[in-house]
Chains A and B, each alone.
Chain A
Amino acid sequence: MSDEELAKDLGPLAALTIGVGTMIGAGIFVLPGDAIEGAGSFAVLSFLVGGAIALLTALSASELGTAMPRSGGAYFYVNEAFGPLLGSVAGWANWMGLAFASAFYMVGFGRYVVNIAGLPGGFLVFGVVVPWTKLIGLLGAALFIFINYVGAKETGRLQNIIVVILVIILTVFTAYGATRASVANLPPPKGFGPMLTTTGLIFVSYMGFVQITSVAEEIKEPGKNLPRAVIGSVLIVTVIYALVLIVMSAAVEPGYIQQVSDDGRIAVVAVAGVLLGPVGAGAMLIGGLLATASSANASILASSRINFAMGRDRLVSPELNRIHPNFGTPYRSIALTGVFILLFIVLAPIQILALLGSILHLIIYGLLNVALIVMREADVSEYEPSFHVPFYPYTPILGSLLSFALIVFIEPVVIVVGAAFVAFALAWYLFYGRSRTTKEGALSQYILSQPEEMPDAAVDAAESVKPSGDDYRVMVPLANPANQRDLITLGSAIAKQRGGTVHAVHIITVPDQTSLSYAADHLSELEEDHHSVLDAAREDAETFGVDIETHTVISHRSFKEVFDAAREHEADLTVMGWGPSSHGSPGRVESAIDEVASDLPCDFLVLKDRGFTPDRILVPTAGGPDSELSAEVANLLHAEFGSEVTLLNVADDVEAGEAFLEEWAAENDLEDATLRVETGDVESAIEAAASESTMVILGATERGLLSRLVRGSLVIDVAEDIGCSVLLAERARHRGVKERVRKLLGL
């Protein structure tokens, strides 16, 4: 059995239990009284409508879950489809939705305890009435947070038993109640508006099924079992809820529910008492305790999965998902979620908690349904679900519309709070996530991949919220200690001006005969100054006040390693040295290089070092992307060191040359530069101008120039003959597939 198989230990029944156990909670044990008061006999419809929305979403979640069995559930799918802007919304809504729901379950738990213990409404502390339900809710929440913090597995087994007990209790209740039911008892319906408002309230009872997708990677044969568990659990609880509501509306006299609620008793328990006597009421009380506890317990664990997935995409700090050395639990995430739960219990009344849990989940479900459509339409090649939503696209469209539409019927205050959460999540992405995450959604990739066919507004919008990845990263590969200071100085100056960081990578080349792991163990013997190189780099960078990270890479081929490291560190710019001693021996046969180097992973600056003195910089230009990079660097050096910049153009016609330079200087923000136009031989003109400068920045005029240069197979006469330092600039470029094929065919 492969490792992957071994990790899967949830059978179909276990998966189903997770969904049913999370859903059957305070929703059905606390809210039926409020539901009947709110909607009359239509309360049954409220639960059925809720079930229908949940079912439509469950179909979408099943398809997404079988296509992407990754931790993080609903958040993960929305993030994959829409990218991190809406991903942030889904993540926060999912996380906070679970926290609100857990708070709701725990206050419900408090109600049951108060009912069992026969406690009064509250007690006075310093003139403030503390309601017992809240206090017990807080204690209960603290207990379940603690259980998850230390990761007691025993609660899990218990959870399965609890689910079975709950189903039995509710089955007996409805079966017996059905014999006593009479249409005459039905309270009058209160119309469709109140019915939908009630649906918004009780929708909190339908949010466990998505948690199954969150553990998709642990489910055996997920292609088959995941959809069965997700859809099955929704069907099961919908039927149970509907039957319970029918019994509650039809088996007792009209007005009884109202009266019970006014007495502050729990409606479900009171009805069970009427139907089955004290045993029934007792069973229902225990059921309520177990149900609220197991729902909260499951939700707390589920929220840590969402944190994990958000941390994986850098939408929250991955530090949040640290694992406890003894307990093996994501203790920080659980503790933070716990703080939110306790806070919510203190701040909001039970109905508001339920509504906020509902509304945040409705937002996620709405997005999730659209995410399915995006994944199907955006030609995502890896998207291969083994379960397909029936009646596509009508099912997800309807699911999405109903989810969003139901929000409208929720209390305005709650909508405002919900909207505030969404606004917060958007701001969170723009101010926190955007600079960190690198994840792009399928939708924006699709739009940006065909800008001609898409409306401009869509392209602009996709462009403007695109993740900016991390900050500007300057990578400085160091091999030769002699010129490292100049390279670090140059790199740090640019990083400082760009507000970025420097990544110093010490590349140690070992002969092919030496195994890399051997080299790793004998670093100090191979390179005595191993640590001093990076330490010196750190010092130099710190004098600029630039953040620096240092890495060591051991390789047989140093030049290829530079490219790999640039890719790995997602560098925006690489500053490296040039010369026989800088990176491997010159002229060394490295057949892989041409292929590698033809696809520059980032901008490159190669310094032929004759002393780093950026006082007077010469930028010869004839236009083109690479000399634009030269201009950029000249600008940055000017800003950092106050360098004087001279632009040089060699033209046949002086006037035309001047006109070109003026325009070019303006385009590249170099209006202050001295303009110089020469005629005649290009090389000698550059050499002449260079003699008055301390540094020349040359744009690579030819593609692939850089790689050949660094390998030592090409010598630029100019660079050799000039007395001062030369900086060669080459722009990053990502060759498309078409171009590769064309080159391959020699077209």
Chain B
Amino acid sequence: MTSATQPLLRHLLVPVATETDARETARALSPYNPERVTIVHVVEKGEGIPDKTPVEQSEAVAEAAFTVFRETFPDAAEELVYERDVVEGVVDAANAVEASAIAFQPREGSRLRQFLSGDRTLRLVTEADRPVISLPGGGDR
């Protein structure tokens, strides 16, 4: 690297949950032209108990999200992670692919809903060991 500055958009790790989430996140990210993108979907595992959804369904959801995301970023690499904790899965994946930053679009939700699903936005921002970029537009749904 010739310049002393570290380009944040060198290699982004973008967590996507569902098809809709992937579409909106891709739309929000597209104006910034990141150099490289890796999309990650974390399949929530029960570890010792049955998952909330069958593996087959979880993987289909991931596949659908990836496909939609690729419509905007055809060259994006993909990572499928199986982890009990979604936030941990994202952070670990960022490590594994040596991402320069994690970019995601926080979803608006009521306090109650955030409480029930365990406010992941806050946890991701505080637990990540690299920059976390919050993409705009997640609140207008």
Known: A308-B56, A326-B113. 16 other contacts (CB 8 A): A6-B82, A9-B48, A10-B48, A10-B49, A11-B48, A71-B57, A156-B49, A160-B49, A218-B46, A308-B54, A321-B57, A325-B18, A326-B109, A327-B52, A327-B116, A521-B71
CB atoms of A3 and B80 under 8 A apart:
yes
CB atoms of A18 and B49 under 8 A apart:
yes
Answer whether residue B55 sits at the interface, using C-beta atoms and an 8 A cutoff. Answer: yes
CB atoms of B109 and A301 under 8 A apart:
no
Residues of B within 8 A of A130 (CB): none
CB atoms of A323 and B57 under 8 A apart:
yes
Complex Cα distance A205/B39, Å?
A: 46
Answer whether residue A7 sits at the interface, using C-beta atoms and an 8 A cutoff. Answer: yes
CB atoms of A218 and B51 under 8 A apart:
yes
Residues of A within 8 A of B116 (CB): 150, 152, 326-327
Bitwise, A310-346 to B at CB < 8 A (1) or not (0) is 0010000000010101111110000000000000000
Bitwise, B42-77 to A at CB < 8 A (1) or not (0) is 011111111111111111010000000011001000
Answer whether residue B17 sits at the interface, using C-beta atoms and an 8 A cutoff. Answer: yes
Query: Which listed residue, B44, B49, B54, B56, touches A157 by the CB 8 Å rule?
Result: B49
Query: Which listed residue, B48, B61, B113, touches A323 by the CB 8 Å rule?
Result: B61
Residues of B within 8 A of A520 (CB): 71, 74
CB atoms of A9 and B45 under 8 A apart:
yes
CB atoms of A71 and B80 under 8 A apart:
no
Contacting A at CB under 8 A, from B3-39, are 17-18, 20-21
Closest residue of chain B to A153, judged by CB?
B46
Answer whether residue A678 sits at the interface, using C-beta atoms and an 8 A cutoff. Answer: no
Return A457 CB to nearest CB of chain B, in Å: 37
Residues of B within 8 A of A328 (CB): 17, 44, 52-53, 117
Chain B, interface size category, equals: 20 to 34
Complex Cα distance A312/B43, Å?
A: 19
Q: Among B44, B46, B82, find the residue whose CB has the most chain A CB atoms closer than 10 A.
A: B46
Residues of A within 8 A of B56 (CB): 70-71, 217, 308, 312
Return A424 CB to nearest CB of chain B, in Å: 26
Residues of A within 8 A of B48 (CB): 9-11, 14, 17, 156-157, 160
CB atoms of B82 and A7 under 8 A apart:
yes
Contacting A at CB under 8 A, from B103-141, are 107, 109, 113, 116-117
By the criterion of a CB under 8 Å from any partner CB, how many residues of chain A are at the interface? Answer: 42
Answer whether residue A159 sits at the interface, using C-beta atoms and an 8 A cutoff. Answer: yes
Complex Cα distance A328/B18, Å?
A: 9
Residues of A within 8 A of B80 (CB): 3
Residues of B within 8 A of A9 (CB): 45-48, 82
Residues of A within 8 A of B43 (CB): 7
CB atoms of A329 and B53 under 8 A apart:
yes
Return B66 CB to nearest CB of chain A, in Å: 13
Complex Cα distance A302/B53, Å?
A: 10
CB atoms of B17 and A218 under 8 A apart:
no
Return B67 CB to nearest CB of chain A, in Å: 11
Answer whether residue A517 sits at the interface, using C-beta atoms and an 8 A cutoff. Answer: yes
Complex Cα distance A71/B56, Å?
A: 8
CB atoms of B107 and A7 under 8 A apart:
no
Complex Cα distance A84/B80, Å?
A: 33
Closest residue of chain A to B117, judged by CB?
A326
Return B87 CB to nearest CB of chain A, in Å: 13
Answer whether residue A723 sits at the interface, using C-beta atoms and an 8 A cutoff. Answer: no
Residues of B within 8 A of A7 (CB): 43, 45, 55, 58-59, 82
Q: Among B53, B58, B84, find the residue whose CB has the most chain A CB atoms closer than 10 A.
A: B53
Residues of B within 8 A of A538 (CB): none
Residues of B within 8 A of A312 (CB): 56
Return A93 CB to nearest CB of chain B, in Å: 20
Closest 7 CB pairs of A and B: A156-B49, A71-B54, A6-B82, A151-B52, A517-B74, A215-B50, A14-B48
